[in-house]
Structures are given as structure tokens and as C-alpha cells.
Chains A and B, each alone.
Chain A
């Protein structure tokens, strides 16, 4: 079985550590099982079912570390992997940035596991897809989609006495609906810990509405417009800024670097409506409660009313700078307002509603200048109403500039980035002066 309980994992890791002769030893164990189903042109195209379990041992002498792993678990194999990591350590060059293992830590339990998601079967996945296809067949649309569920566990133990364990489940679903003529396209994506929250019928309905509504798109002149970004679009746009790394800022190669040296910690960099934090214990978006090197994760503010509140410091960089280590974000939650998307549209005199963004790439990391395109439902708003669908456009914009031009934020909801498939809690946002640079004929 690839998924071990806390007790089973602890017993196995203890046994592995008992073979160690190194000055320091860290052992980690991880397993995953799950499956997926992919469909296109209203029929299943591929599906699979995959399980893995692996053990990694890192042994250190002085500042020389060697790592070896194995996927066999008899006593001889466990001893062999420890010996091999020790041999590799003796051959390795010393790492001046090596940090000794952390001692015992206290971790709170995470809310990342759900029995029902863990119990999903190929038949269950096929049924969820069938519900999605009901919608598109009835609406005379073509669906292409993907559903994937996984159950993972990981556990670490080290020679300084640290032990940590976590188990999680995840299910993600995405669907693109298109009409036969190829003149309309819609999209929806959902991600949950608990599969009972996943309604593939309802999500496909939204995608179908976007597909039908986007037929007959008109071209408008590219330029600066007020936009309302739906959470799926906003999440992808902002994802590039979510590392908050102190080291790259100190080194002068980040949007968080200060002119003349140092970081922008404490500076007001974004509009005061912008507050972004991480919280492993958020019930809508739970995350693990510890990092790979054994640091506990707590609620952390990154931007508070537009001010840079914290940067992430690795243990090495923290020691060098004389500050406390600060793990990077375990999840991202952005505060918003109470307005619904409909209310935000209603209060817009002229603007563009963006359902989704696509193929975002970094153009200039200095200011996080990005380029990408709209897709799957772009609409012109006039006097508080959606007037007509418009052709897709390429944008050239920075999330940092964008978050200085915030007109209003709506109610946050769980949204998936279409690049990383990570989930975020992000509000829909109304942004002024968003820069579109050219038109695209793509549907």
C-alpha cells in the first residue's frame, strides 16, 4: 500500500535511522496513489491509475551530504540505502550553505485529508465525467476535460529527534466546451480536498454558458481598459509574485529589491485594498503544517493593506541576515470585499469582463512584466451590463502595477491557476488601466 499511517511511517523511519553511522541523518518517506480520466470530443480519450512509494535518506559528515533513495522496504534494502547515502556523502563537495537538522518541533494537525476522495475509483471518475457530458450533449457542444484525484502522504524524521507526518487528498477538474463551428468557447476549473464539493454538472454548465455567450465576438481596439478579472484569471495573473523570497530581493534581482540595495520590506508597494496572507488552517483552503526541512507553518501576512509585511527566509539566509527563518507561502489567501461578480459588473460604466487568461510568461522579472492572452469568454461591459462578447486580446501588464490600480475587490473564492493547478482563495477584482497590446483571432 502506498499510503502509510502515521504509526506505520514512524516505525519504518525509526528503523531506517537505527542503521545510520553519519554525523547527521534525515529520512523522508512519501507515497501517492490516485487516478485520472481525460476526455475530448465528448468521449474518454485516456485514463490511468498510478501508485508509488519511496524512501530518501540524506547522510551528512561535516558539510558533505549524500542522498540515496529506494522503493524496496525489507531490512537489507533499508540498510543498503543508508550505507549508499553515507558513501555518496564522502564523495560530495562540502556545501557551505549546509544547515544542521532541526530538533523536535510541535506541529498542529492539518485538515488536508478526506476519506471520500481517497476512496475514489475508476468507475467513480467515469461517473463524474458522464455528468459533465450530459451538459454538453444537451447543449450541442463539444467537451474536453480532465479529472484527477490523488492521495498523498509524507513523513520525515532526523537524527536530531524531529518527526513530522501529513496525509492529504486532492481532486481537480477542468473542462473546456466549444461549439461545433469553433466560434464559441468556455471553461471552468475546480479543485477540492473533499470530492463531495465537486459538482461537475454545475461547473460544466458555467463553461457551456461562456461558450454559447462568446459566439459572435466583435473586435475592439487594444489599449488601456478597466477590467473585471474573474478569480480564475486573477489567480493565474498573480501567481508569479507569490514567492516573496528575501534572498533574491537582497541580491537585487527581484521586484522586491530596493533601489540602492536591500529589500522593500515595510514599504507600501500595492494599493491599500490589497491584503495577502497564508494560513494552513483555513477551512476553505487547508495546507500542510510543516515544510520539507521541518519548520512549522503558521498564518503569515505577506502584504497588509499594500505594505510588504514579510519575506521568506531560508534557514541559511536567515542565519546570514540575523533574522528568524520564515517559510514561503503554504497557500495564498487574498482578502476581498462582499460584492458578487454581478454587482461588480453592475457598477461598471465601461469595461471588459475577463473569464480566463492564457499562456502567461515573464517578459521582465525586474517589474514582473508579463504577457499573455484572454480566452474562453471575454465580454464588453457598458452602463453596468454585459453588452457583447469581444475578440480575445494579448495583454502586457505587471501584477504589481495592476495591484496599484485596484478599483474594487469582490468576494474571494477558491480558484485554480491554469498553469500550476494550484488552488488559491482570490476575489474577483476590478482593475483600471489594464494594458492590452494586440488582438487575437483565437477562440
Chain B
């Protein structure tokens, strides 16, 4: 994940909590203006200017994305509102393929003249780069879809909900935390709407309306005498939904040692639990390092899946295109082609799917006009596929792209980004309680915390929000200072059991970073609670003078 954006936007970092302003993320607008959309017919006319110009200047392929990216953030701490920001970013990005080389240019001057000039710039960039040489780009064929559209299936557009309602909710959340004894509390609601129009020389004119929402908070409890503090973040997830996510529904709650949530979130209930948890954490037992069986809740495991499975199966990383930034991968084309590379135990089935309702990665078409399909990445523990886009598919012998192309806004060039990548639930009936009963010496981890992994995705370390010690099949108390370290393949081969689909939930990254210049992607990862055996747990406590 891209740490900086994540911290600034989600307000999770203790330091970042004090920032009065969000970073410039677009152009602030009146909330009502977010509800107006640009007519697709006008966008088609504008798009044709670029496509015709590109062809006349020698492009063998061109696409244009006319994007209106809206975001709204309500940011509070304790009893006050720190920021209400409504922003829009509107412009076009034009990508051309000339002499076998890509060129890209973008402008916020969305007029026929602005688009024509920008197309010329994109062609000039491609020609300058073609002089350096290298293998010409090989695009997998893609049929045009004509004029089509797609919209996130939301029940309530978050941009239609008055700011006051959001402020009132966050103020009641903060009030509950302070009443429960929290020293500090920060809370945010972030809403995103991508209104994006894609057109290409293949004959597609695709209009999409994508929605995402992220409610979040962090509660801090201080022990001044000890000079110590503890925090507990929300157990919400960023979602590909409307404001309906914030209407609590009992049947969407997962009860247990702490309540977790499926497709609806009870922010007020969670903050009360968080306040109790933060207080408990201050006086909880420091972990004894050693080997433990880990029982990982989906609110935690999504991040481990994200870093250790989803990233290393991105084909651009495998091939070396991300070597200078995100890194490469321990997985190789040879390992894939062997057909017998054992990524994990037979319990490990990993699926890529951009059609999952409520997920962050759900789209009708990707950012180069491809309809994404569901595909297996790991089947019964064996590596079966990588994530691809049009100019990579041929490398692993595919005839078409798998629809993994995305750009964070109109001003960024699109490239390979991960779809939703999820661990399939176990086929046999298995509840979390029954899983815990089978653990002699273990730790049950809820919520995601600190995360770090090497550039080829071998060695990782993860923390969490809540750690519960399991002894002889029972939870006996809370632990602190826990992190686990493992080698990727070893870890997934220690996957002993996955709970059934009744426990399946999505977690996700609102701002996953990759590329140069850096770009953010939003993606979900689903799983049921999963058990890993004999994992190395360290104690992370350090002291300064």
C-alpha cells in the first residue's frame, strides 16, 4: 500500500491525525455540483477529436479517457470538524501507440482544441521515445463494444447525503469514544465517485459511474504515568458501495470476542468496542516470542493476501517493469508454466474477480476497454495464472487481456493494477469457534496493523489491531506487541484450514500504491477466518531513554 496517501486520507496514523487539511486531491466544489454529470454524447464528440487526430498522425492505436473524479472528505477530531472538502478533478488523458511505442499526455482543458493539442503532444512523446528502441508494444486484440455504460449498484449515493448528516454521525461517534474514556478520537468519512468515459480506436465508447465509500476512526488511550499510549482503529472496510454501508443491520454483524461486520457497518457500536479495546490494550500482556498457530480474521487477512499473493502475481512485476519502484516477484513465468509450482497448501484457492458486489475493484470495463473475467490465480495450492493487461497477455500465451488495467485519474497513464484477489472459503463446514477449539497454542488476530514485505515478496512482517491468546482451544486474554514474520511460500503452505463461506468477508485497500509517478488503486480482498500453523511471532517492544 502507498503509505502516505493511506495515512493522510484515512487518518489512521497517529501523527497524521493532527493534520488540519487533506492534501490537494482535486478542485473543491459545491456538494450539489457532484450530482451533475456530463452528457455521454458530448464526451463521444470530444473523444472522436482525439481518436481521429491520433490516427491522422500515424498512431496504430489510441484511447482517450475523459474523467470527472469527485471526492468528499469529512474529517473530525474529538468535538470539532477539521475539514469538509468537496473536490472534483476533470480532464482528459490520451494514450497513443506510434512506431510501436506508447505516448501519453493529459490536460484539464476539455475542449476540442485542448484535446487536439494534447493528442499532438502524446504523439510527440511516443515518437521521442521510439528513437530509444526496444521491443515494440504487442497489443492483445480487443473487440469494440460500441456505446455502453456501467454503474456501481448503489442504494444511496453518498454525495446526495447532506454534509450535516455525516458530521452528526461522526460527532456522535467521537462523543461515544470520549464518554467511554478515550483521550483522543479521530473520525472520517471519505466518498469517491469516478465518472469516466473511455473511447478507443477499437470502437468502444464506455461510460461508467463508479462509487466507493470509506468510514474510519481511530481511538487513542493515554497512560501518562507510564508515558504510553495505545490506539484501536475501526473494523470497517472501504467498500464499493453507497451510503447504505453505514446503515447498521443485525444480520450483517459477526458476533464473537469483538463484533465484526459484513456488508453493513455499525460505526457507533464499533467505536464503543474500540474504546474498551484501547483501554484493555494499555494493560495487556506483552507476547512471549516463539512459534504459534495463527487464527486470522478476514479484517486482518485481507492485507496479508494483498501483499503476499496479489502483488507477486502482477505480471508487470514478474517481468521487471516495476523493478525500480514496487519491486519484482519471487514468482516467475517459468514457475507458472511448470504447472506444478506449489504456492500454498491444498487449502489455498485464490481467485481474481472484479464482479464481486460491494468490492472496491468492481467495474464493468477496465481502463483500456476490456470486460474483466473471474480467473484462478492459485488452484488447490498450485500457481495457475498472473494478472495481465493488453500489452502483456502474449507473454504468458494468453490471447486476450484479463481486464486488470487502471489509472487513478485522467491525468495518469493507465497500467496493470490488481483486481479484487481473494482467498476462497473452505468447502467443508467450519465455524470460527470450532477452528479456535482445535488450537493448542495460538493467537487470534483481528484488524490490520503494521505491514512490510521485501521487493520480491519473500519475507514479510505483519501486526494487527487486536491480539487474543489461545490456550488449549480457548481464548484466555489479550496480548500486545505482536508481529509475525514469515517466508511467503512457507506461510501459505502452513495454511491448515479455512472457515466456510458463512464467515466470508471483504477487506480492502483504499489507496494501494504502484508505478512512477505513483498512482493509487482501490481493491478488495475477501476471505473467511483462516488458520496457519507454526508461524514465527516476535515481540516488537522497544524502549528509548
Contacts and interface: CB of A to CB of B under 8 A. Distances in A.
Interface stretch (B217-225, B293-301, B361-369, B520-528): B217-225
Interface in B1-50: 3-4, 13-15, 17-18, 20, 27-30
Nearest to B449: A363
- Which 9 pairs of residues, A with B, have the shortest CB-CB distance? A43-B134, A259-B227, A144-B323, A440-B459, A442-B454, A442-B456, A146-B516, A144-B324, A44-B129
A363 B15 CA distance: 13
B53 interface: no
Interface residues of A, number: 99
A146 B325 contact: yes
A251 B226 CA distance: 14
B320 interface: yes
Interface string B169-199: 0000000000000011000000000000000
A40 B467 CA distance: 42
13 contacts: A40-B320, A46-B104, A46-B415, A50-B106, A71-B108, A95-B82, A122-B125, A126-B132, A253-B222, A375-B455, A394-B461, A396-B540, A441-B456
Given A35-B125, A46-B413, 4 more contacts: A50-B105, A51-B107, A359-B455, A363-B540
Given A49-B125, A54-B27, A56-B28, A361 B319 contact: no
Interface in A340-371: 358-367, 369, 371
Contact of A68 (B30, B135, B163, B225): B30
B101 interface: yes
B324 A174 contact: yes
Interface stretch (A240-248, A273-281, A330-338, A424-432): A240-248
Interface residues of B, number: 89
Contacts of A87: 30
Interface in B425-454: 450-454
A46 B102 contact: yes
A322 interface: no
B330 A441 contact: yes
Contacts of B29: 68
A175 B541 contact: no
Interface stretch (A11-19, A283-291, A398-406): A398-406
A394 B122 CA distance: 42
Nearest to A148: B517
A14 B251 CA distance: 58
B458 A178 contact: no
Interface string A374-405: 01000000000000000010101010110010
B73 to A, nearest CB: 12
A367 to B, nearest CB: 5
A41 B321 contact: yes
B128 interface: yes
Nearest to A369: B542
Contacts of A39: 132
B175 to A, nearest CB: 15
A308 B455 CA distance: 35
A389 B491 CA distance: 27
B128 A142 contact: no
A42 B227 contact: no
A441 B460 CA distance: 11
Interface string B307-331: 0000000000001111111011010
Interface of B: 3-4, 13-15, 17-18, 20, 27-30, 80-82, 84-85, 101-108, 121-122, 124-126, 128-129, 131-135, 163, 167, 183-184, 220, 222, 224-229, 319-325, 327-328, 330, 411-413, 415, 450-459, 461, 463, 481, 483, 485, 487, 516-517, 536, 538, 540-545
Contacts of B463: 363
B105 A247 contact: no
Contacts of B540: 363-364, 369, 371, 396
A412 to B, nearest CB: 24
Nearest to A189: B324
A400 B544 contact: yes
Interface string A250-265: 0111110111110000
The CB with the most chain A CB atoms within 10 A, among B224, B453, B455, is that of B455
A130 interface: yes
A82 B13 CA distance: 34
A189 to B, nearest CB: 9
B30 A245 contact: no
A252 B456 contact: no
Given A47-B129, A375-B454, A245 B18 contact: yes
A129 B132 contact: yes
Contact of B184 (A69, A253, A441): A253
Given A44-B134, A48-B105, A364-B541, A93 B485 contact: no
Contacts of A142: 320, 323
B318 to A, nearest CB: 11
A101 interface: no
A69 B27 contact: yes
A269 interface: yes
B107 A439 contact: no
B15 A438 contact: no
A52 B30 contact: no
A439 B229 contact: no
Given A44-B101, A68-B29, A361-B451, A394 B543 contact: no
B452 A359 contact: yes
A254 B330 CA distance: 37
B485 A255 contact: no
Contact of A70 (B27, B163, B455): B27
Contacts of B4: 419-420
A252 B133 contact: no
Contacts of B224: 252, 259-261
Contacts of B14: 248, 253-254, 365
A37 B384 CA distance: 33
A37 B27 contact: no
B135 A394 contact: no
A396 B82 CA distance: 34
A295 interface: no
B134 A42 contact: yes
A110 interface: no
A151 interface: no
B483 A371 contact: yes
Contacts of A372: 452
A123 interface: yes
Nearest to A44: B129
A192 to B, nearest CB: 17
A88 B30 contact: yes
Contacts of A257: 227
Contact of B323 (A46, A129, A178, A400): A178
A220 to B, nearest CB: 15
Contacts of B27: 54, 69-71
